[in-house]
Amino acid sequence: MEVNNANLANQIQDPTKSPSGLKILWKEIVRDKLALISLILLVLITVFVYGTAVVLDQDEIVRVDLFAIHEPPSEEFILGTDYGGRDVFGQLIIGTRNSLSIGFLVTAISGIFGIAFGLIAGYFGGYTDNALMRVLDFFQVLPFTMLVIVFVSIVPNYTILAFSIIMAAFNWMGIARLIRSKALQEKELDYVQASKTLGTSHTKIIFREVMPNISSLIIVTMTLNLAANIGIESGLSFLGFGFPESTPSLGTLLSYATNPQTLEYRWWIWVPAAVLILIMMLMIRNVGEALRRATDARQRRG
Amino acid sequence: MWKFIVRRILITIPQIILLSVLIFLLAQAMPGDALSGLVDPNVSLEQKNALREKLGLNDPWYQKYGEWASGLVQGDLGQSFRFKMPVADLLEQRLINTFWLSLATLIITYIIAIPLGILSGRYNDSILDSSITGYTYLGFATPLFIFALVMLWVFGYQLQWFPTSGSVTPGLEPGTLEYVLSKARHLLLPAISMALIQTVSTVQYLRSEIVDTKQREFIITARAKGASESRVYNRHILRNSLLPIAAFFGYEITFLIGGTVFVEMIFGFPGMGQLFIESINLRDYSVVNAVVLIFGIAAILGALLSDIILSLVDPRIRIK
Amino acid sequence: MAILEVEDLKVYFPIKAGILNRTVDHVKAVDGVSFSIEQGKTYGLVGESGSGKTTTGRAVIGLESIYSGKVSFNGTDITNFGRENSALRKDVQMIFQDPYSSLNPRKRVLDIISEPLRNFEKLSKTEEKKRVQELLEIVGLSPESILKYPHEFSGGQRQRIGIARAIALKPKLIIADEPVSALDVSVQAQVLNFMQDIQKELNLTYLFISHDLGIVKHMCDDIAIMYKGRYVEQGTITDIFNNPQHIYTKRLVSAIPDINPRNREKQYRIRQEVQREYANSFNDYFDSEGLAYGLQPVSDTHLVALPERG
């Protein structure tokens, strides 16, 4: 990842130097058919999942029905049932919604923290930067998966928000590093120096002057992070350390596959969830990569 | 340059200390203490409290940390509450298993990455290159645990080419050839699964490195001097691109650690990752702490090693 | 009394090395510079790139931290003045060299010019807009352009926006760091004349930094020549241009192109002569490290860096 981040930072040129940076991002997506289709599909999935989840009765879906255990797909259960006789299709919808929600939440929390951290380190530079980067180095070398699992298992009041904060706490370093290297370049520019001579406060310069100028980098990174976070969340749920109990996630459905019988003979329980995760991650990446190309004038299409 | 190395090592020491403090504080936050692993549950509360006092469990945290840390340095990782044995003994076999799994993964990672990266970089924008790039693209988007599940399903259950759990067929005599072969067979599928996902970043890096180097002045000069194409690649481009790749293995340790947790669970491989999850579920926290500590130190030392090797092969990152 | 007084200003950048990253040496960007500017005058700082002229300007306004020395503005010490001293900050403003990077590309003209107003004056939205429009008119731009973005303007127009921003708070001193060197020659004169106009109108004092002696001659009352962080010669326009004492100054002055073709031969001969003198007497004018000596007075206004004659 270190390598990739470094490359990304170099690749991202200055799309923002013209004020129509956001327009360029949008144009690139429209021009890139794959990204456009991905975006449309993602929006459809999101709307469908959130819309249906409102109508669906979650308690009904997670209620155990011992007379309908491990039923293969039928007319009543489109994707069959799991070991508790619960409707897999309903769990898939609720699971997708939950995975998406937590993906957004974690991306937002880690993004806000990472951006602020990177901006402060890059803008002030010198000793501040040095100290903050040592902190970042330390976090980056920590065994992420394990610490999240340990925290999840010892936090007393375990909620979705707590889970998101734990995940974000060990997951803000990538974006912080990227933003910092960009901010280091940006702060040398005269408009930042000018703001200083005009008596603008550091906080204002950082968030009102510098941040808008690196907004496309932020958008690109956050998009790619969203995909990664959905993957990480489903992985943790797969191990049983994701969502609080009774809240199905895509990873929960996959965790049924740790039972060899389910893995071998009852594909309808875990394959749809696996396919759905893959599709969503690929599509978010498609959009993210198109955005990244847009920020790099050399790679822009058309 | 030795200055860089000394400085880099100086950074490592506080990192390890901080890691141990973090783990110690986590241990404090965990329910139960060292005592629960030692005594019979039937011992009365007063007796327990007396024992606590005697064992220093009521001391302030920094004092306890000092004792804990000095124990660590002497190899005392505490007692497993579940298995009623020293954590160090419990870890030994698991550590060896995970070590071989990681090593196999690393080797396969490079076996895949180097030819793919070179082909992709040398013939960039060919059909071959786009299929390799397509693979790395998919690899980046695929979560390891899903890929591992699919691999187990296909090669373990459907095709039955590989065993589906364990690290060795039971009943074999250690030291015999069958034993070693059986170990290798059990290792292979998890290692391949992990390597196929982990290798994509290395492939991508090598490719872009070669594409970049191809356009450098000194390569153009070499061509202009009339060096043959293979000479240009072997003598000039690969020498510049491969060495940094070789140094990355230390950074890979961080990913390996995350990977082993998933892969060992899925393939029922008795290593540190599996032990970690089992111990968490059993609330056997002294084992949990030991695993996190060992993995954390491994990651810190891996990064240190990579930084040092990189500074030897690539003078650009060397700080004065 | 002088509006700006700089005494023995030193700006050193540390060179770090070693395991603990300790400072082992300094780059002496500005090494003992003193000058003072009278209200309403223009003081020129001239030198090649790397001579420390820009660093001097930036140190005066607080963009570089000062190693030692003293800067006083209207008698108040403003050495290393931070954001706290906002009343004084209003009075000292800066015009930047590059009109492309000195305006935030993501902000509209209205927001750019009103940035200092928002920091120091509590104005209502309508008042603010009116002030910005007035300022635009002063710098000769259409008041309708307040909603445009910087990239919609030419380099000269952008520099005018930068000037409008600098004069928004009615400052007393403006540090102009090569304000026209990034502009086309055809636009340079326009901007310079305009700067002189507003100087008269607003009674401004300029610290004018440039590498172009022709422009300095046109703009300034007093000038100083810098070389490797030190003053080489300081004096009025007449002192420097008609009576250069230091070999470095002589060389610079002789390099000014003369557009009169009849003087071509003469100019060429003078240049040859100066070049010869420069080669022969370099060691008389610079110390063993190639730096200028301390300043010795030649007349009331004229100072030259010469070795002390004992």
B205 with A7: Cβ contact below 8 A: yes
Question: Is the same domain home to B194 and B240?
Answer: yes
CB B150 within 8 A of CB B157: no
Is residue A81 in some structural domain?
yes
From A199's Cα to the closest Cα of chain C, the distance in A is: 6
ipTM value greater than 0.90: no
A141 with B150: Cβ contact below 8 A: no
pLDDT band at A11 (very low <50, low <70, confident <90, very high): very low
* pLDDT for position A18: 47
3-class secondary-structure state, position B184: helix
Is residue A24 in some structural domain?
no
* pLDDT for position A132: 93
Residue A232: closest CA among A288, A169, A292, A289: A169
Backbone angles phi, psi at B300, to 5 degrees: -65, -45
Pick from B144, B254, B291: CB nearest A141: B254
Interface mutation vs chain B, best among C16, C19, C20, most B CBs within 10 Å: C19
Is residue B318 in some structural domain?
no
Give the torsion sign (CA, B260, B264, B270, B276): positive
CA distance A88 to C8: 80
Q: Residue A270: enclosing H or E segment and its boundaries?
A: helix A267-295
Give the torsion sign (CA, C195, C200, C201, C205): positive
CA distance A142 to A150: 13
pLDDT band at A84 (very low <50, low <70, confident <90, very high): low
| Domain range C2-38+55-223, CATH class | alpha beta
CB B173 within 8 A of CB B182: no
Mean pLDDT score, A70-83: 69
* pLDDT for position B234: 74
CB A268 within 8 A of CB A73: yes
CA distance B16 to B4: 19
A282 with B141: Cβ contact below 8 A: yes
User: Is B248 an 8 Å CB contact of chain A?
Assistant: yes
3-class secondary-structure state, position B176: coil
Mean pLDDT score, A38-46: 91
Higher pLDDT, A74 or A18: A74
The tens digit of pLDDT for each residue in C215-263 reads: 898 899 999 999 888 888 899 988 888 888 888 888 888 877 777 778 7
The tens digit of pLDDT for each residue in B137-162 reads: 899 889 999 999 999 888 888 888 88
B262 with A238: Cβ contact below 8 A: yes
* pLDDT for position B176: 80
The tens digit of pLDDT for each residue in C141-160 reads: 888 888 888 888 988 899 99
Tell me whether residue A146 is exposed, middle or buried, using C-beta atoms within 10 angstroms of its C-beta: 0 to 12, 13 to 18, 19 or more: buried
User: Is A65 an 8 Å CB contact of chain B?
Assistant: no
CA distance A245 to A159: 10
Question: Is the same domain home to B27 and B122?
Answer: no
User: Is B318 an 8 Å CB contact of chain C?
Assistant: no
User: Is A285 an 8 Å CB contact of chain B?
Assistant: yes
3-class secondary-structure state, position A195: helix
Range of the domain at A106: 46-64+75-300
Mean pLDDT score, A247-274: 83
What is the total count of domains within chain B? 2
Token digits of residue A26 = 């949008």
User: Is C22 an 8 Å CB contact of chain B?
Assistant: no
From B142's Cα to the closest Cα of chain A, the distance in A is: 6
Give the torsion sign (CA, B208, B209, B211, B212): positive
Is residue A197 in some structural domain?
yes
3-class secondary-structure state, position A78: coil
Question: Is the same domain home to B102 and B50?
Answer: no
Give the type of residue at C262.
R
Question: Is the same domain home to B50 and B99?
Answer: no
Q: Spell out the residues 6+ positions from residue C188 whose beta carbon is closer than 8 angstroms to its own.
A: C180, C215
Question: Is the same domain home to B287 and B302?
Answer: yes
CA B187 to chain centre: 15
Residue C243: count of CB within 10 angstroms of its CB: 15
Show the DSSP H helices in B142-248 as ranges.
144-151, 177-214, 217-224, 229-231, 238-247
Hey, which bits of A236-282 come out as E strands?
none
* pLDDT for position B43: 65
User: Is B320 an 8 Å CB contact of chain C?
Assistant: yes
Nearest CA in chain C to A18: C105
Token digits of residue B306 = 């990579």
The tens digit of pLDDT for each residue in A113-135 reads: 999 999 999 999 888 998 999 89
pLDDT value at C81 more than 70: no
Is residue A39 in some structural domain?
no
Question: Is the same domain home to B268 and B144?
Answer: yes
* pLDDT for position A267: 81
Token digits of residue C210 = 């440039």
CA distance B233 to B219: 9
The tens digit of pLDDT for each residue in A263-281 reads: 777 888 888 889 999 999 9
Is residue A5 in some structural domain?
no
Give chains near C: 3+ CB pairs under 8 A: A, B
What is the total count of domains within chain A? 1
* pLDDT for position B192: 92
A239 with B261: Cβ contact below 8 A: yes
B 259-298 residues inside an 8 A Cβ radius of A: 261-262, 265-266, 276-277, 280-281, 288, 291-292, 295-296
Token digits of residue B124 = 């960039």
* pLDDT for position A3: 41
Mean pLDDT score, C73-90: 71
- Looking up tokens 């490290």, which residue turns up? C289
Is residue B319 in some structural domain?
no
Question: Is the same domain home to B271 and B285?
Answer: yes
pLDDT value at A199 more than 50: yes
Question: Is the same domain home to B93 and B221?
Answer: yes
CB C118 within 8 A of CB A204: no
C17 contact residues in B (CB cutoff 8 A): 320
Range of the domain at B152: 88-313
The tens digit of pLDDT for each residue in C257-273 reads: 777 778 788 888 888 88
Q: Spell out the residues 6+ positions from residue A162 whose beta carbon is closer than 8 angstroms to its own.
A: A155
Each residue's pLDDT expressed in tens, for chain B with a length of 320 residues: 677 788 888 888 988 999 988 888 887 777 665 555 555 656 666 776 776 666 666 677 777 788 778 888 777 777 777 777 888 888 888 898 999 999 999 999 999 998 998 888 888 888 998 999 999 989 988 999 999 999 988 888 888 888 877 777 777 777 788 888 888 888 889 999 999 998 998 898 888 888 888 777 777 787 777 777 777 777 777 777 777 777 777 888 878 888 889 999 998 889 899 999 988 888 888 888 889 998 999 989 988 888 888 877 766 554 43
Instruction: Give the per-residue SS3 of chain C.
Output: CEEEEEEEEEEEEEEEECCCCEEEEEEEEEEEEEEEEECCCEEEEEECCCCCHHHHHHHHHCCCCCCEEEEEECCEECCCCCCCCHHHHHHEEEECCCCCCCCCCCCCHHHHHHHHHHHHCCCCHHHHHHHHHHHHHHCCCCHHHHHCCHHHCCHHHHHHHHHHHHHCCCCCEEEEECCCCCCCHHHHHHHHHHHHHHHHHHCCEEEEEECCHHHHHHHCCEEEEEECCEEEEEEEHHHHHHCCCCHHHHHHHHCCCCCCHHHHHHHHHHHHHHHHHHHHHHHHHECCCCCECCEEECCCCCEEECCCCC
Range with the poorest average pLDDT among A146-150, C14-18, C58-62: C14-18
Give the type of residue at A23.
K
Q: B–C: how many Cβ contacts below 8 A?
A: 7
Question: Is the same domain home to B12 and B106?
Answer: no
Is residue A25 in some structural domain?
no
Question: Is the same domain home to B116 and B247?
Answer: yes
Strands B85-86 vs B79-80: parallel, antiparallel or unpaired: antiparallel
CA distance A88 to A77: 8
Q: Spell out the residues 6+ positions from residue A11 whose beta carbon is closer than 8 angstroms to its own.
A: A292, A295, A296, A299
Residue B241: closest CA among B124, B153, B78, B122: B122
Give the residue extent of every domain in chain C. Answer: 2-38+55-223, 229-310
Is residue A110 in some structural domain?
yes
Pick from C61, C101, C116: CB nearest A190: C101
Mean pLDDT, rounded, of chain C: 85
Is residue A20 in some structural domain?
no
Token digits of residue A146 = 């394990």
Last residue of a domain, one of B85, B119, B135: B85
Question: Is the same domain home to B200 and B292?
Answer: yes
CATH of the domain at B266: 1.10.3720.10
CB B262 within 8 A of CB B253: no
Pick from B18, B26, B146: CB nearest A150: B26
CATH of the domain at A250: 1.10.3720.10
C18 with B6: Cβ contact below 8 A: no
- Looking up tokens 């290159």, which residue turns up? B129
pTM for the whole thing? 0.83
CA distance B69 to B282: 24
CA distance C30 to C53: 8
